[in-house]
Structure 1
Amino acid sequence: MADYQIKIENCNSIDCADIVIKKGSLNIKYGPNGLGKSTVAKAIVSQARNDGTLQDLAPFKGRGKVGSGQPKVGGIEGIASALVFDEEYVNQFAFRQDEVVKNSFDIFIKTPEYSSTMIEIEGLFAGIKKAFSDNAEIEQATKDLKELRDAFGKTNADGSIPKSSKLLKAYGSGNKIENIPEALKPFESFIKSPDPSKWIGWQIKGNEFLKLGDTCPYCSTVLPEGPQKDIPLAVAKEYDATAIGHLNTLKAVIERLGKYFSTKCQENLEKITKAKLELTAPEKSFLSGLKTDIEALIVKLEGLRTISFFSLRDVDEIGDKIQLLKIDLGMIDKLDSDETRNVTDPINAQLEELIKKVGALKGSINKHKAKIKKTIEDNQDSINNFLKSAGYKYSVIIIPEPDSYKMKLLHQDLTGHIDSASKHLSYGEKNAFALVLFMHQVLSENPDIIILDDPISSFDKNKKFAILHELFRGKASLRDRTTLMLTHDIEPAIDVIKSTAKVFQGSHPSATFLSSRNGLVTEVEIKSDDIHTFATICTEILSGHSDTLIKAIYLRRYYEITDNMSLEYNLLASLFKKRATPTIQSAAENRDMTAAEKAEAESDIKKRIPEFDYDSLLSEVSDDKVMKEKFFATEVGYEKIQLFRIIRGKHEDDIITKFINESYHIENEYVMQLNPHKFESVPEYVVGECTRLLNAA
């Protein structure tokens, strides 16, 4: 496969960047912060997705200027989709309350094979589904049946209907809409209106004003003395607005369902819903039986309407389960009518056809369950092995839900799963989870290119290796996928290219070093023999460099790295601090070096730097002009900042000062495992600031 020869132009601080990405391989691009690595990622993704965001990368220096170059990316033909892991991905990663990550089912279970098998299984239920879809009234009938069932309330322990139920509140004391008390006949048109509960509520609210005077609070006419004055109060005595509301609603529901009741049931309902007096025990018993029949039909209809792989997933004997779904109106005779049979007969007929195929159905479901079980176990094992190897106390478990599967988070010190992962995971833990789950998302979506923007630099060494191993060596890894890893941390390159190279051979890794000067980004391949301890690098430079003072800089670093705080080290330290009389400084003593000690130290240093002479070099380091000439003569950033430090250049920017100071000491030992003569690791802005200060001095 031909490699991608990518050219990025006019994007943020990058005027031009030429990089190579090997197809089907892990491409590590290592370089210092501030180089524009994130811009490289954004430019490639914007061009691949062709979503119009490439123009957002236009450099500020060219905006609004005629003829300024426009953002451009070439050489990515064949890349049409991309997934990016970066800080934004972690921040937007949705840790749900009821599962570790949003859409865990889609990421971990719903493979193309899963989907095709589901289509095959659901096809066996097509006849039943069609029987439902062909009857437009069945959905409304089921809804009405549920509303009527709910009106019965929760059945008492003895099977009776509770007095607090909507049904008994509406009809338990008789239907006073149909049977209006004689005293309230003048209000018949209001009581029998389409929504009498509103009028009754209004009437009752007005009663509190009767005590304020002898006039009607509704019409302001004088109320006569005697029984007639009590008529307004009679409405409140006879009627309850809420109960009448229930009655009106249930009346409409019963009327819509009428055709689904048997003839005898309709007669009994007519009698009950128009009764003048409180319902008798037999009438209440009839209603309890009606509720039982309604509930039975709802269960059957819902079971058939929702029949699927999930509803049969945990059933041992699928044939028996399907037989139980058959609707036998002889057993729920209160709903045995011609209209009901018009609904149930076609469904039962389709159910019979499904029963004939139960062998094939059972086989398909069991095979599908076995594949899902293996997928779950593989994913769980993969993630949990990573979590264990990285030292995390968490684990995950994928469990079945009514119509899905979800990944739950566990902790070794807690029984049961954690309800809200986002509240318990630290940023580093979220980052680790997000990265591993990102990998599974890649496997699910299969993009043309995967971009990892500084994915593991914030982790300690043990976790870095565990994550790299999971990403590129795990069972479900990114091997053989075109992957671009951008990082300011050299450890991934060291692990993948040198120290554990055999472990990662399957990902066909390559590593390059990115550097930037004046807007031009270039790369140099990092090979295994380019990666050394800094002690080795110092030795190489000592044998080949022409400038004695710069050799002395590397030798002092060599002594420091090898923990050799001898006379030689103290002599070099005194030289760089411009001491006419060298000193010995340690935890045990702080004094001037004797002439004999100075001679001994010089003699030992000359074994590595034959031309070394303390007094001669002291005159050089004390002469700022000479030191500036050395600064501008070298092209190596590491040497420039060491010379700047010897000159005792001061910088008002604490960040620049910190970088200069730390690069001199041992904190950045990993950064210095590439020879600075071949790989320019010092950021351009640091060298630029040092240059600016020396030019201004």
Structure 2
Amino acid sequence: MKIEILNCNNIEQGTFEIRENVLNIKYAINGAGKSTLAKAIAFSVMNRLGNKKQLSELTPFKYQGNAERAPQVKGIEGISSIRIFDEDYVNDFVFQPDELLKGSFDIFIRGEDYEKGIQIIDKLVNEIKKLLAEDKDIEGLIRDLTELSNGFGKPTQKGIHGSSPLSKALKGGNKVANIPVGLEDYKDFIQGAENFKWIKWQMDGKAFIDISERCPYCVGDISEKKGRIRRISEEYDAKSVENLNKMVEVFQRLNQYFSESTRKKIDEFVENTSGYTDDQVNFLREVRDQIDRLRGKFSKAQSIGFHSLKDVDKVVEELKSYCIDLGLFNHLQSENTESKAKVVNDSIDRIQEKAGELQGNINKQKILIEKLVKENSTEINGFLRNAGYSYSVDIKPDGNGEYRLKLTHNDIDGEVSNVRTHLSYGERNAFALVLFMYDVLKKNPDLIVLDDPISSFDKNKKYAIVDILFRKGGSLRGKTVLLLTHDFEPVVDMVKHHSDRFEGLSTSFLENTHGSLAEKGIVKADICSFIDISNENIRDAATPLLSKLVYLRRLFEVTNEKVFEVTNEKGLDYHIISNLFHKREKPEIPGENGKREMTQYEINEGNSKIKEKIADFDYAKMLATVKDDAKLIELYEDAENNYEKLHIFRIFCEGKPEPVESDVIRKFINETFHIENDYIYQINPRKYQLVPQYVIDECDRIIASRFR
């Protein structure tokens, strides 16, 4: 697909291509707009899908408020889903408190085969689950049993926790059912449906009764009633009454499930006037125990399935534990309880008839999970081992029917907690990248974007990451991937050295010239050693003579044998060109006691070597050229690539006092001039703009402001 991007950060206009179902590598130097490109595509797709990310966030400062220059991305209308690897992804999805990758169960385990297996097992046990789900009485029973149990508060030897709803409601007796003497006139309010609200209203208004002898609500005379009004807040507490209402309602709803004798004792407990006794608490503790056990039985039956049976050797024996024996629940022996227990027991009896089939399918599902765990963890651990990391991963059950990806270290037993604090920046990125791969393989988006993901790794780790991401069967191979990078090493590995392993690549170089983004394709033949690049450019008739000497000097710097043992310097040919660039009338060469003039023999030997490559080389003529500022400026302006411009600029500056004020620019120029920072393999700087435009802009400014 052909994509056009307009008015996004430092890109005013640009076109590039993304081929579908292949890895698209976009190599660019820093500042070209790689991250802008990634964000522009992502934001544009997200805007269309209703996501909060707005493409307008990328509006260049100079165009803010100008609707006619709003950011646009064209050509991606066919993309309906996108995943992008960036810092946001790492923060939002990776290294979660309870697992390495958010949703690791869905990513690594839950697939089509897994779901089919679960469906077969669920079908065998579906009857009981369906009956329990459809029986609203059982659903309400479980809910009420839970609420009543929670009313006792945290477990305690006393039976009822002091801060529990039950304690707050009845510790001082039920004063709603038993209204204290003297407050009978308030019966309709105290025993009303919203009594706790009325009590709160009374307590809030109490602060106003001392202001006047009149009622703050009806302005009637209350001079003789103030004491009785104050008693309301002394006898009642709104929160306690609210708790009492709730607990009484729960007891009433559960009355039909209690045995007759238990129901009577609970009524006595609820209606007591002076608070509950120790004997009543002990009795209620027994009731609570049976409530919890019965609730557990119903809940267990509701959740019957693979996860509740997978660790059982004999399913038929385990199914017996699902049956409800009401003989063990003397406080809950009633016709209603018996009818609900019968639903469970009858269903379990029918499931037992299919126990053999159920056992077989559970075993199949366990084998599938073991296979998935082994395959996924083995592949990730292989990567970690190959990349030199002392970590490994394991996919473990979490106790809730799912599985979590956990991290372990080779030096300890058990999982690593607080993963973010233990991993270095590089380790976090490596883990995140690999986990991202599994995530997108599961979600299968239309486009996968990797924004400069591997530049921070050393060479061995880079290849290990590239290998697992793009080479193997369970990788991003065959997906539409956009890889943006300023690191040339993976380009060399995938396009040059191992093109047989990474088939179907689409590789190009992005260059940004004053906001105009363009791309040029890179194929295997474009990646050469600098020796080959230099020879090619020297042979090219279109290369200006001075630029040919630039490449030849670099070539000699790389290939010449060192001929001076004492000074350990390079060959005579190299020194001839070096003297020329330093604008020396008489070439010099390092000697044992410092620099000395080259002998005529040495000059002739050096010239002879140069002429083998550049037949029309003439030192005197070229010296006149490099000493002529006007001529150098002309050559600088005519140069078609930034690399040669930079070298001509350096020659131009030779002998001038501090022409470049910026240490940063000066360092860049000097490092580009020497060979030590070049890769063994490169792309040709005559074809690809490898020198940042801002450096050339600074050179332009210096020439224009100081030498015009």
Identify the TM-score tier after normalising by the shorter chain. 0.7 to 0.9
Q: Aligned partner of 2:509: which letter? A: F
Q: Name the SS for the 1:110 alignment partner.
A: coil
Note the C-alpha offset of 1:222: 8.8
- How many angstroms apart in 2 are the aligned matches of 1:190 and 1:47? 62
**CA 1:344–1:78: 2 relative to 1, 3 Å:** same
Q: 1:540 corresponds to which residue? A: 536
Q: 2:83 corresponds to which residue? A: 83
Note the C-alpha offset of 1:324: 1.1
- How many angstroms apart in 1 are the aligned matches of 2:47 and 2:67? 25
Q: 1:428 corresponds to which residue? A: 426
For residues 157-211 of structure 1, the C-alpha deviation after alignment (integer angstroms, 9 at most, x for no partner) is: 7x97778876577667876665677798898788767688899999999999xxx
For residues 392-429 of structure 1, the C-alpha deviation after alignment (integer angstroms, 9 at most, x for no partner) is: 33332221111322222333344432333333333333
Alignment of 1:483-494 (within 5 A): 483-494=481-492
Match of 1:618 among 623, 631, 652: 623
Q: Name the SS for the 2:95 alignment partner.
A: coil
Asked whether the 8 Å contact 1:44–1:73 carries over to 2, the reply is: no
Q: Is 1:593 aligned with 2:589?
A: no
Asked whether the 8 Å contact 1:175–1:274 carries over to 2, the reply is: yes
Asked whether the 8 Å contact 1:8–1:40 carries over to 2, the reply is: no
Note the C-alpha offset of 1:470: 0.9
User: Larger deviation: 345-354 or 384-393?
Assistant: 345-354
Asked whether the 8 Å contact 1:28–1:510 carries over to 2, the reply is: yes
Q: Aligned partner of 1:493: which letter? A: V
For residues 299-340 of structure 1, the C-alpha deviation after alignment (integer angstroms, 9 at most, x for no partner) is: 111112233433333333333223211222232132122222
**CA 1:298–1:499: 2 relative to 1, 3 Å:** same
Q: Name the SS for the 1:330 alignment partner.
A: helix
**CA 1:239–1:554: 2 relative to 1, 3 Å:** closer
**CA 1:78–1:671: 2 relative to 1, 3 Å:** farther
User: Larger deviation: 191-200 or 675-684?
Assistant: 191-200
**CA 1:83–1:206: 2 relative to 1, 3 Å:** closer
**CA 1:109–1:544: 2 relative to 1, 3 Å:** same
Q: Aligned partner of 2:74: which letter? A: V
The gaps in structure 2 that reach 5 residues or longer are 563-568
Alignment of 1:150-549 (within 5 A): 150-152=150-152, 247-275=244-272, 285-401=282-398, 402-502=400-500, 504-505=501-502, 507-515=503-511, 519=516, 521-527=518-524, 529-545=525-541, 547-549=544-546
Q: Aligned partner of 1:644: which letter? A: F
| TM-score between the two structures when normalised by the length of structure 2 | 0.81
Asked whether the 8 Å contact 1:10–1:58 carries over to 2, the reply is: no
| TM-score between the two structures when normalised by the length of structure 1 | 0.82
User: Larger deviation: 683-692 or 307-316?
Assistant: 683-692
Note the C-alpha offset of 1:43: 5.7
Q: Name the SS for the 2:482 alignment partner.
A: strand
- How many angstroms apart in 2 are the aligned matches of 1:302 and 1:406? 24
- How many angstroms apart in 2 are the aligned matches of 1:18 and 1:163? 71
Match of 2:674 among 646, 665, 668: 665
Q: Name the SS for the 2:25 alignment partner.
A: strand
Asked whether the 8 Å contact 1:8–1:73 carries over to 2, the reply is: yes
- How many angstroms apart in 2 are the aligned matches of 1:175 and 1:530? 91
- How many angstroms apart in 2 are the aligned matches of 1:643 and 1:567? 23
- How many angstroms apart in 2 are the aligned matches of 1:81 and 1:45? 9
Asked whether the 8 Å contact 2:166–2:244 carries over to 1, the reply is: yes
Asked whether the 8 Å contact 2:492–2:681 carries over to 1, the reply is: no
Note the C-alpha offset of 1:439: 0.8
Q: 1:226 corresponds to which residue? A: none
- How many angstroms apart in 2 are the aligned matches of 1:483 and 1:114? 28
Asked whether the 8 Å contact 1:382–1:476 carries over to 2, the reply is: no
Asked whether the 8 Å contact 2:105–2:403 carries over to 1, the reply is: yes
Asked whether the 8 Å contact 1:153–1:161 carries over to 2, the reply is: yes
Q: Aligned partner of 2:496: which letter? A: K
Please report the RMSD computed on the Cα atoms of aligned residues, expressed in angstroms: 4.4
Asked whether the 8 Å contact 1:671–1:681 carries over to 2, the reply is: no
**CA 1:154–1:460: 2 relative to 1, 3 Å:** closer
Q: 1:570 corresponds to which residue? A: 575
Q: Aligned partner of 2:262: which letter? A: C
Q: Name the SS for the 2:475 alignment partner.
A: coil
Alignment of 1:27-176 (within 5 A): 27-38=24-35, 40-41=37-38, 51=48, 71=72, 73-74=74-75, 79-90=79-90, 92-152=92-152
Q: 2:644 corresponds to which residue? A: 639
User: Larger deviation: 687-696 or 60-69?
Assistant: 60-69
Q: Name the SS for the 1:384 alignment partner.
A: helix
User: Larger deviation: 307-316 or 428-437?
Assistant: 307-316
Q: Name the SS for the 1:100 alignment partner.
A: strand
**CA 1:512–1:203: 2 relative to 1, 3 Å:** closer
Q: 2:566 corresponds to which residue? A: none
- How many angstroms apart in 1 are the aligned matches of 2:29 and 2:301? 63
Q: How many residues align?
A: 678
Q: 1:583 corresponds to which residue? A: 588
Q: Name the SS for the 2:100 alignment partner.
A: coil
User: Larger deviation: 243-252 or 545-554?
Assistant: 243-252
- How many angstroms apart in 1 are the aligned matches of 2:335 and 2:250? 19
For residues 651-687 of structure 1, the C-alpha deviation after alignment (integer angstroms, 9 at most, x for no partner) is: 5666554443332223541286122334443345544
- How many angstroms apart in 2 are the aligned matches of 1:655 and 1:261? 85
Asked whether the 8 Å contact 2:56–2:70 carries over to 1, the reply is: no
**CA 1:318–1:608: 2 relative to 1, 3 Å:** same
Asked whether the 8 Å contact 1:9–1:15 carries over to 2, the reply is: yes
- How many angstroms apart in 2 are the aligned matches of 1:178 and 1:67? 75
Q: Name the SS for the 1:29 alignment partner.
A: strand
Q: Name the SS for the 1:387 alignment partner.
A: helix
For residues 248-305 of structure 1, the C-alpha deviation after alignment (integer angstroms, 9 at most, x for no partner) is: 5433321221111122222232344445678677655543332232122111111122
- How many angstroms apart in 2 are the aligned matches of 1:42 and 1:26? 18
Note the C-alpha offset of 1:68: 7.7
The gaps in structure 1 that reach 5 residues or longer are 224-228
Q: Aligned partner of 1:117: which letter? A: G
- How many angstroms apart in 2 are the aligned matches of 1:448 and 1:231? 72
Q: Name the SS for the 2:490 alignment partner.
A: helix
Note the C-alpha offset of 1:623: 0.8
Q: 1:8 corresponds to which residue? A: 4
For residues 599-637 of structure 1, the C-alpha deviation after alignment (integer angstroms, 9 at most, x for no partner) is: 444444444444444333222211112222322344233
Q: Name the SS for the 1:467 alignment partner.
A: helix
- How many angstroms apart in 1 are the aligned matches of 2:632 and 2:206? 103
Q: Aligned partner of 2:465: which letter? A: I
Q: Name the SS for the 2:136 alignment partner.
A: coil
Note the C-alpha offset of 1:27: 2.8
**CA 1:332–1:94: 2 relative to 1, 3 Å:** same
Q: Name the SS for the 1:618 alignment partner.
A: helix
- How many angstroms apart in 1 are the aligned matches of 2:46 and 2:66? 27
- How many angstroms apart in 2 are the aligned matches of 1:187 and 1:45? 67
